[in-house]
């Protein structure tokens, strides 16, 4: 999915059940994980393991491409007997 972060916006610290890849396609982002902050200009590719906590901010605005795989990750659908949805729309 393509995410537009306006100046000062952030995706606060969070985690997902899938592998997450983030590509900065416009602007400048700041990626935080494991106590490290990295300036991420256009072309930066970052990868996070499932359940790895991370945050993304942008003081001046940025556009990031977010890829999650495999979809859905194990445990994504909490409260079900397995990790797959009961139906899929195409």
Whether residue 25 is contained in a domain is answered as yes
The percent helix, strand, coil of the chain (3-state, each to 5) is 0, 50, 50
Whether residue 75 is contained in a domain is answered as no
Whether residue 89 is contained in a domain is answered as no
Per mean pLDDT, which range of 1-5, 49-53, 82-86 is the poorest?
A: 82-86
Whether residue 84 is contained in a domain is answered as no
pLDDT tens-digit map of 20-73: 999 999 999 999 998 999 999 999 999 999 989 999 999 999 999 999 987 776
- Find the CATH number of the domain harbouring 42: 2.60.120.10
Whether residue 33 is contained in a domain is answered as yes
Rounded to 5°, angle at Cα 78 from 17 and 83: 70
Domain extent, residue 53, equals 2-69
What's the domain count of the chain?
Answer: 1
Whether residue 60 is contained in a domain is answered as yes
Record the pTM: 0.76
């Amino acid at each position: 999915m393509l995410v537009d972060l306006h100046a000062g916006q952030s995706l606060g610290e969070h985690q997902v059940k899938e592998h997450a890849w983030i590509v900065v396609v416009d602007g400048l982002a700041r990626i935080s994980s494991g106590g490290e902050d990295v300036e991420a200009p256009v072309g930066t590719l970052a990868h996070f393991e499932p359940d790895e906590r991370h945050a993304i901010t942008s003081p001046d605005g940025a556009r990031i491409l977010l890829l999650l795989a495999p979809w859905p990750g194990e445990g994504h659908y909490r409260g079900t007997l397995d990790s797959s949805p009961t139906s899929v729309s195409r």
